[in-house]
Amino acid sequence: MTLVQVENLTLRFAGRAKPAVDGVSFEIQAGECLALVGESGAGKSLTARALFGLTGRNTEVSARALRIDGHDVTAFTERQWQALRGATVGMVLQDAMVSLDPLRRIGDEIAEPIHIHARRRGLARGAPAGVAERVIELLRQVGVPDPEARRGSYPHELSGGLRQRALIASALAADPALIVADEPTTALDVIVQEQILRLLGDAKAAGRGLLLISHDLGVVSRLADRVAVMKDGAIVETGPAAALVSAPTHPYTRTLVDALPDRRPADPAARPNGTAGPAADVKTVPRPDGTPVLTVTGVGKTYGTAGRQRRALHNVSLTVRPGETLGIVGESGSGKSTLARIALGLLPPDEGDVLLHGKPWSSIPERLRRSRRATIQLIHQNPTAAFDPRFTVADIVGEGVTERGRTARRARITELLRQVGLDEDFLTRRPHHMSGGQRQRVAIARALAPRPALLICDEPVSALDVSIQAQILDLLADLQHETGVAMLFITHSLSVVRRISHRVAIMKDGHILEEGPTAAVFAAPRHPYARQLLAASLLPVP
């Protein structure tokens, strides 16, 4: 049975000539999963929102046909849409922390669609009998342990995985025939991601239709029957998931497939479009004899005041040598970013010591640290937030340039831009007129400006599309090769860390569980959590 039929859907923001969604057509059958894949801004989420009548103000939507579960929705009023939302189509969003009301218990959140749609179907007002039982059953279905107690929890009391499960339970509550999942696992670590995907797979097996939106082909190939690749508002390629990943025909699909970090062929000759490959990613051989650039010894940190304390780091020790990349992997909340801030001297450790080039760093006053700050630089996750909104590219990079005199500064800024693959035209551009990848390149240029010995990269690619991720990782590896800069590379992605690091440290709850050469850790992880993490890390090949 055809659940959704979309024909020539076009969506335009008022005042823009170019449509944001341009002539998109697809169908979803009951028990089938269609995945919409593409980079951010491709129009995936807008297409999905059109299935809810939630495209927002100032948009113009047109379609030759738009049928959902047998209803022609093109002439729907807001009231009719309300009857459809939840009951026929359920939505699972990316970030449960934002999507769940922080002031409501999750049990009430899940019960809401049940109440609304029971009322709508003309049943008695007030609480229909058995709602509590239904909520508990839903929580059990999505694998929340101890559902009787958990339904009384607020979102902030739950882990990321449990929150996402609660969100899925609320989407399932009114028993919709179609579930739209918009990047449902992007905010989760690999172990939880695996569980959520299994859960969505169960929903599909139960005969529900599934529209999955993702920029991650790895996730998609696990769940989707068919894949539609979107670019610039249009579908450029459609096909069965397995065929599309193994033999992409459209050039854009091919870049997406190539960009899967685990799938990039090791032999450069076998690579279709000549990008730099993973074998070349770790180019620099670290000098094990050199004095470590960074030495962290027994560092601990506790947040909060007496009574409600949270220990962010326990007795963490590590070293980074010249020309070496140490990858730090862990889920959100594992203490990675706290470690980065302590290493940078932005946050004092409660115990332990940080040395830079063998000399005291964390224990000296900021006044003395300032003259040595050039040695250690930072690349943020989100470059947009890391740039003064009023600054041009020249201003941004120029802030880190130590040369004096107009010409010398200008020459150095241009040289830095060239190093990160940007030409002089960018000097006067402003960051909000650039793509995410270009912005991250500017951030890297700024960090390189004072000629640092160590770069601390805090999730530098996780906000980028996969195709861009690969380019930035290549750039960082090349720069390391050219300049011999050491890197402390923080990420939640195993495939990213595997590509870029000489050594890996796995963090959980403020502890370093395991540390060693990348190949050794990946081949034979010793700690149970590390084994679990690696087992759950998704291989995109179906």
342 binds another protein (CB under 8 A): no
Helix (H, G, I), strand (E, B) or coil at 318: strand
49 binds another protein (CB under 8 A): no
**Interaction pattern, residues 69-88, with another protein; x per rule: CB under 8 A:** -----xxx------------
CB of 151 to another protein, least distance (A): 36
Q: Closest CB to another protein among 230 and 444?
A: 444
CB of 78 to another protein, least distance (A): 11
Cα distance between the two ends of the chain = 26
Select from 113-121, 297-305, 381-389, 465-473 the region that touches another protein (CB under 8 A).
381-389
CA pair distance 201, 210, nearest whole angstrom: 9
Site for another protein in 8-37 (CB under 8 A): 8, 10, 14-15
Q: Are 239 and 226 contacting, i.e. CB atoms less than 8 angstroms apart?
A: yes
CB of 424 to another protein, least distance (A): 22
382 binds another protein (CB under 8 A): yes
CB of 61 to another protein, least distance (A): 5
Radius of gyration of the chain, Cα coordinates, nearest whole angstrom: 25
Select from 55-63, 98-106, 147-155, 215-223 the region that touches another protein (CB under 8 A).
55-63
CB of 315 to another protein, least distance (A): 26
243 binds another protein (CB under 8 A): no
Total number of residues that touch another protein (CB under 8 A): 39
58 binds another protein (CB under 8 A): yes
Q: Closest CB to another protein among 53 and 147?
A: 53
60 binds another protein (CB under 8 A): yes
For residue 486, the cross-strand partners are 454
CA nearest to 492, candidates 332, 354, 381: 332
CB of 386 to another protein, least distance (A): 4
Q: Are 37 and 228 contacting, i.e. CB atoms less than 8 angstroms apart?
A: yes
CA pair distance 391, 26, nearest whole angstrom: 43
Q: Which one among 172, 217, 293, 378 touches another protein, defined by CB under 8 A?
A: 378
CA pair distance 166, 161, nearest whole angstrom: 9
DSSP symbols for 490-542: EES-HHHHHHH-SEEEEEETTEEEEEEEHHHHHHS--SHHHHHHHHHSPPS--
CA pair distance 225, 242, nearest whole angstrom: 8
64 binds another protein (CB under 8 A): yes
CB of 73 to another protein, least distance (A): 8
Q: Closest CB to another protein among 142 and 344?
A: 344
364 binds another protein (CB under 8 A): no
Token look-up 């991720």 returns 469
220: tokens are 């998609």
146 binds another protein (CB under 8 A): no
433 binds another protein (CB under 8 A): no
300 binds another protein (CB under 8 A): no
Helix (H, G, I), strand (E, B) or coil at 166: helix
Chain centroid to CA 202: how far? 24
CA nearest to 298, candidates 376, 341, 336, 355: 355
Greatest CA separation found in the chain? Answer: 79
CB of 422 to another protein, least distance (A): 18
Q: Closest CB to another protein among 399 and 415?
A: 399
Q: CA dist 20 to 13, 44, 316, 431, Å?
A: 7, 10, 48, 22
Select from 25-33, 51-59, 219-227, 255-263 the region that touches another protein (CB under 8 A).
51-59
385 binds another protein (CB under 8 A): yes
Q: Which one among 18, 57, 79, 156 touches another protein, defined by CB under 8 A?
A: 57
156 binds another protein (CB under 8 A): no
Q: CA dist 165 to 92, 100, 147, Å?
A: 10, 11, 11
Bridge-based pairing state of the strands 351-356 and 359-360: antiparallel
46 binds another protein (CB under 8 A): no
Q: Which one among 388, 415, 424, 482 touches another protein, defined by CB under 8 A?
A: 388
CA pair distance 384, 372, nearest whole angstrom: 26
Give residues in contact with another protein (CB under 8 A).
8, 10, 14-15, 55, 57-64, 74-76, 344, 346, 370-374, 376-378, 380, 382, 385-390, 399-400, 446, 449-450
